[in-house]
Amino acid sequence: MNGYIIEKYNKMTNAYTCNRLVEEANKIGIDLQIIGIHDTIILENEIRNNGNILEKRDFVINRYKWGKIKDEINSLGKKSYNLLEKYNIYINKYEQVKRLHSDEFLIPKYLLGSSLLKYEEIVKYLGYPFVAKGLESSMGEQIALINSAKDLEKLWINYGTEKEWLYEEFITTSFGRDIRFYSIQGEVVACMQRKSKGDFRANVALGASVEPYEITDGIRQIAKDIYEQTGLDFLGIDLLFGENKPYFCEINVMPGIEGIEKATGVNVAKRIIETIAREG
């Protein structure tokens, strides 16, 4: 078998997840190559990477969110992980809260609006403080806790007036901590708790600590429910701590695995590659 990982650059020297996937693929004889969208051009009848024509492959793994180049590279794979159509939908955080549901979690109150919404208008629906999320953000970027009109003003100053935001109620019971679990075709293979050192966000990229977390029946059911609703093979699913049951935070269609492998000792990369090999 052979495949491509679609990423930012061909050389992702410090990208833990990409390199672990390549490592595990090589162990079982799969030729897995990283293809950077910034090293790729799309011509009328061919796709070139660093001047070389890209050939069709058995599969592609999507690890880049934006633009049309990734879509064209997807056309070279007999199968895409995650499936491009679904991947392009669920990149968007608004589509997630609009489409996903489970009896095992609550959805925070939310609204979709631009940077120029009035602070008082948002507070009327969500209370304060509230959270602003960039629709396609990751690793804690473009996530802000809004305590005042001044905080809200910073969004359009920093990101422009045309940007849309998902505004959500702030779940105070989950300040600086959350649950992340990794789902492979609806099966939970690893689960951890993330804790920040003072930030309301609990992203590993922002310095949060990680520790194993018990895989409960409720967590297993959430993974099954979301897989049935999305068909996404590989997912990071984030939950916030509530008083009686968890709140849905988001799903990540291109989750990193460094934190969860180190926290749990589970070889997630191996499980991913084994799944792809089994379907090949």
Residues 160 and 256 in one domain: no
CA-nearest of 117, 112, 80 to 93 is: 112
- Write out the residue range of the structural domain in which residue 261 sits: 89-103+173-279
Summarised one tens digit per residue, pLDDT across range 51-97 is 999 999 999 999 999 999 999 999 999 999 999 999 999 999 999 99
pLDDT-derived band of residue 210, with 50, 70 and 90 as boundaries?
A: confident
Query: Does position 198 have pLDDT exceeding 90, yes or no?
Result: no
Q: How many whole angstroms separate alpha carbon 128 and alpha carbon 149? A: 11
Looking at the structure, tell me whether residues 206 and 161 fall in a common domain.
Answer: no
The residue out of 149, 170, 191 marking a domain boundary is 170
CA dist 280 and 278 (Å) reads 6
Map residue 273 onto helix, strand or coil: helix
Same domain for 159 and 138 = yes
Amino acid symbol at 163: K
Q: Are 246 and 227 within one domain?
A: yes
- Domain count across the chain: 3
CA distances from 118 to 108, 121, 122, 168 (A): 20, 5, 7, 15
Same domain for 164 and 187, yes or no, is no
Q: Are residues 94 and 183 in the same domain?
A: yes
Chain CA centroid to CA 225, Å: 17
Q: Residues 226-248: pLDDT tens digits? A: 999 999 999 999 999 999 999 99
Q: What is the pLDDT of residues 243-268, one digit of tens each?
A: 999 999 999 999 999 999 999 999 99
Is the previous residue joined to 255 through a cis bond, with omega within 30 degrees of 0? no
Quote the pTM value.
0.93
